[in-house]
């Protein structure tokens, strides 16, 4: 009697290489962990073996399903170790009740499957679709009659280039340096000294920069004297003839 496809099925897995019967023997003897066995690869190998034989052996398929079911049961028990330990600790009466409960649940599932199969057989030729049909005619949207002159005016408006956007408000306006030169000279004509930060505190950053350039220009021409006690300290501006002393010269240097 020739060997069945299950008996002569050779496997080449990551954790095992050899016949399928030997794999089951190792699993039952706990020499191989079920989690290391790729069940999907075994099923693919069996299907390829059947395809190579060119015929479907129902007896071999049934035998293979039984063996694969046993293997899947072993893997499933590893996923729920608490449940397996709980079932092992039950008394005979409790175990009988648990078995009866599972049989009743199985009977309900089987009856539901039978009902679904009968429902499918009785309504096999009926089809329905939720929502509108794909070939539903769509209403045609018609526009009210429009005079040709209005259409020409609309096209003419679209063809007119838009006005250019002015960016004048984004340009930086620099005040003349002479404006601050005159302002600082007038201040020193009334007072002998003043603080630069107090005079330009309400101005913009650009105006403050121009005012500082004017200050440097006055210092270059020798009209004023500048003093600053420390870095980032307030800058004091005074007349050039009011601090012609060695002490001022050292601070300004």
CA distance 92 to 99: 10
Structure confidence at residue 41 (pLDDT): 81
Task: Copy the structure tokens of residue 145.
Answer: 């009659």
Confidence tier at 12 by pLDDT (50, 70, 90):
low
Structure confidence at residue 252 (pLDDT): 40
What tens digit of pLDDT does each residue of 93-110 get? 666 676 677 767 878 888
Residue 1 has pLDDT above 50, yes or no: no
Q: What residues does each domain of the chain span? A: 1-89, 90-121, 177-252
What tens digit of pLDDT does each residue of 203-222 get? 888 888 989 999 899 999 98
- The residue behind tokens 């699993």 is 27
Structure confidence at residue 201 (pLDDT): 86
Beta bridge partners, 236, equal 195, 227
Number of Cβ atoms within 10 Å of the Cβ of 23? 21
* CATH number of the 177-252 domain: 1.10.10.580
Structure confidence at residue 217 (pLDDT): 92
Residue 187 and residue 199 in contact, taking contact as beta carbons nearer than 8 Å = yes
List all residues 6 or more positions away from 34 whose beta carbon is below 8 Å from its beta carbon. 27, 71, 74, 75, 78
**Residue, of 192 and 24, whose pLDDT is higher:** 192
Spatial CA neighbour of 192 closest among 225, 151, 233:
225
Spatial CA neighbour of 37 closest among 68, 4, 8:
68
Torsional sign, CA 188, 193, 198, 203: positive
CA distance 7 to 21: 7
Structure confidence at residue 31 (pLDDT): 72
The pTM of this model reads 0.31
**Residue, of 33 and 91, whose pLDDT is higher:** 33
């Amino acid at each position: 009697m020739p060997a069945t496809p299950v008996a002569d099925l050779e496997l080449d897995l990551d954790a095992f290489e050899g016949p399928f019967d030997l794999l089951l023997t190792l699993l039952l003897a706990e020499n191989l962990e079920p989690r290391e066995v790729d069940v999907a690869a075994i099923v693919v190998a069996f299907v390829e073996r059947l395809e190579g034989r060119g015929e479907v052996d129902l007896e071999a398929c049934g035998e293979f399903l039984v063996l694969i079911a046993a293997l899947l049961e072993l893997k499933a028990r590893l996923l729920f170790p608490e449940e397996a330990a709980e079932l092992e600790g039950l008394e005979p009466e409790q175990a009988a009740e648990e078995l009866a409960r599972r049989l009743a649940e199985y009977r309900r599932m089987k009856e539901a499957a039978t009902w679904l199969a009968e429902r499918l057989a009785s309504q096999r030729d009926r089809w329905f679709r939720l929502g509108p049909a794909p070939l539903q005619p769509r209403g045609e949207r018609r526009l009210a009659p429009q005079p040709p002159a209005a259409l020409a005016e609309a096209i003419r408006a679209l063809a007119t280039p838009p006005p250019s956007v002015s960016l004048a408000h984004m340009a930086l306006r620099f005040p003349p340096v002479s404006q601050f030169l005159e302002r600082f000279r007038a201040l020193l004509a009334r007072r002998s000294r003043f603080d630069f930060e107090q005079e330009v505190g309400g101005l913009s950053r650009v105006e403050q920069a121009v005012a500082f350039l004017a200050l440097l220009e006055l210092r270059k021409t020798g009209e004023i004297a500048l003093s600053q006690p420390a870095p980032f300290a307030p800058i004091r501006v005074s007349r050039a003839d009011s601090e012609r002393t060695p002490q001022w010269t050292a601070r300004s240097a």
